[in-house]
Each structure stands twice: as structure tokens, then as C-alpha cells.
Amino acid sequence: MNNKNEAPKRNIGPLSVFLLIIAGLIYSLLFPVNRIATENGVPALGYVVWVSLGGGLILLIVCILRCKLPFTGRRHLLVYFIGGVIGLAAPMTLLTLAAPHLPSSVITMIVVLAPLLSYLFALPVKLERFRWLSVAGLLAGLSGILLILIPEASLPEPGMVGWVLLILLVPVLFALFNIFIDLYAPPESDGLQLGTGVLLAAGIIMLPITAIAGDFHLFPGPSAEGDFAVLYATLINVARWWLMFVIITMAGAVFVSQAAYIIVLGGFGWQALFFGGSVSGYIWAAAALLLLGLATNTLSKMRLQRAARPRYRNSI
């Protein structure tokens, strides 16, 4: 007889690892695509509308095919719209505005601070308990950011520091989104239903803002490169939500959090492929500190997970 408290079995095999690598590479591709879009005449707000609303509509089709539509109760709608603001509309707008002004590798490094900040924000609301390893990971990650900000030779241009400070709001928003979802997401919604609702809500929120600003992007735009960048970003968002949902279902949330390492490395690879240029030693050192921080935080989570795993004795 199965014990109802038994943890669900996880299949952490070659397929899970392969999907994790693909998810990390796809997500890190979003940051150079943002830059390509803005440098080819796509307005920031119009870009966010297409990425969120277009992505949400595609995921809605997937939900229809699964016969699992997003729930539309009052609580669900509230979660979608608040989550849409802090988890997509606001951070995606910031990422798009900063894209032409910062190397995509630097933006990627800053964004993946979100798991470390999520731990910090989870402490006051008692979603997490104090763990020295996680605190050490957070300090290592923040030290990496200081290596980007403080030395004059770390960034290609001194004027980029202001954009780094602005983009630091993005992992803060993502971390707040994680805590909000953990606290208030209705348990009957799965990750794909929730993602669909959040994307659609973000698009609906951005529509009037974009209309007031007169910042819509209409097809065909000023260049084919910009139009294709909008399409790619929309598909990247869809693929990211879908892959994360599949991987969490297969292997669990702790495993999927390790995509952050691939995202960081992918950020450097895509930067070199699309834009070239050299990276300062300070940036490499910052990346090493960030990866160390992420690894330490993951190790802390794995230890906690093992300690909480129930042990069963055979009964006769």
C-alpha cells in the first residue's frame, strides 16, 4: 500500500539533464534578443506587449489542448495580475530599456541573483529558515555584483554603472514574484496554468500603458531583424515556461534551480556569438563568485531536502 505522505518519485536522468541545459540556453538567449530588438527600432513597451500577450495566447492554446484552462476565480485573477506586474511587465520593461546599454552577459549575471534574493526575502515571512550555507551563497553572489560596480575597469564604459543599478531591480522583482507565488498561488493551479494567466495579465496591463505612451510595435516594423526578434522573444518565453513546468514535474524544483548555472554560462556564450568583444577579468571573477553563490545555495537546499525526506521501515 502506498503511503499518502510519500514524496513523489523524481526521474533525474539524462532526459532531465538535457532539458535543463536546453532551458538554460534558451532563457539566456532572451537577453541578446532584447538588445537586437531595441537596436532595430522596436519600442520597449510595444515589445513587452508582444512578448507577454503573444506568449500567453500560445500557452493558452497549450492549456486548451491539455484540457486544463487557467482558473478564473477572483483569487486566481488577483494572483495573475499582481504576478503579471512584478514577475513580467515591470522586469521585462527594465530589461528591454537596459538591453542596448549593457553587455547581455552582465545582464544575465545580475538576473540570476533572483534565487539568492528569494531566500533572503523568504526569511521574514518564514518560508525559509536561517541556513549558514544559503547566507554564504547570498554573500558570494552580492560580492560578485560589487566586482561589477566598484572597479572602474570592470565595465566597458563608466556610464554603464547607472544601468547596472537600475537592472538590479529585476532580480528583486523576480524574487518578490517567487515569494508572492509561494504565499498566494492557489494550489489547484499547476505551473503552466499559472504561467499562462501571468503572461496574459501582463499583456493586458501593458496594453493601456503602451497606448498612452504611443509605443506600439506594428508589423512590419522598421526592420525585419526587429520583427524576428519580437517573434523569437515570444517563443523563448513560451519555451521557458513550458520547459520549467516539464522539468519540475519530472525532477523537482531543486533540480530545475540549477538552470541558473547554464543561464550564466549561456549569457557569455551568446554575448560572444552575437556581439563579440572581450570581457574584463573583473567580470569573470564576478561570474565565478556568482556561480559559487548559486552552488552553495543549491547545496543548502539539497541538504534541507534530504533531511526532510521521510524514512520508511518495512512492516510485516
Q: Is the separation of the CB atoms in 229 and 43 below 8 Å?
A: no
Q: Which residue has the higher pLDDT, 269 or 308?
A: 269
For position 81, what pLDDT does the model report?
96
Q: Supply the pLDDT for residue 12.
A: 65
- Name the grid cell of 117: 534574493
Q: How far is CA 114 from the centre of its chain?
A: 8
- Mean local confidence (pLDDT), 247-271: 82
Mean pLDDT across 253-263: 79
Q: Is the torsion defined by CA of 166, 263, 240, 13 positive or negative?
A: negative
**So what's the pLDDT on residue 10?**
56
Q: How far apart are CA 163 and CA 170, in angstroms?
A: 11
Share above pLDDT 70 across residues of the chain, in percent, rounded to a whole number: 92
Report the pLDDT value the prediction gives residue 56, as an integer from 0 to 100. 95
According to the model, what pLDDT value does residue 11 have?
Answer: 59
Mean per-residue pLDDT of the chain: 86
CA angle 56, 98, 215 (to 5 degrees): 55
Q: What gap in Å lies between CA 160 and CA 180, rounded to an integer?
A: 31
- In this prediction, residue 139 carries a pLDDT of 92
Report CA-CA distances (Å) from 59 to 27, 67, 84, 194, 279.
Answer: 16, 12, 15, 10, 37
Is 100's pLDDT higher than 70? yes
pLDDT tens-digit readout, 144-190: 888 888 877 678 887 888 999 999 999 999 999 989 988 888 888 88
- pTM equals 0.87
Residue with the larger pLDDT of the pair 239 and 154: 239
Q: pLDDT value at position 310?
A: 53
Nearest to 55 by CA among 223, 266, 244, 242: 242
Q: What is the pLDDT of residues 41-78, one digit of tens each?
A: 999 999 999 999 999 999 999 999 999 999 999 999 99
The answer to whether the beta carbons of residues 138 and 297 sit under 8 Å apart is yes
pLDDT at 148: 87
Residue 151: cis peptide before it, omega within 30 degrees of 0: no
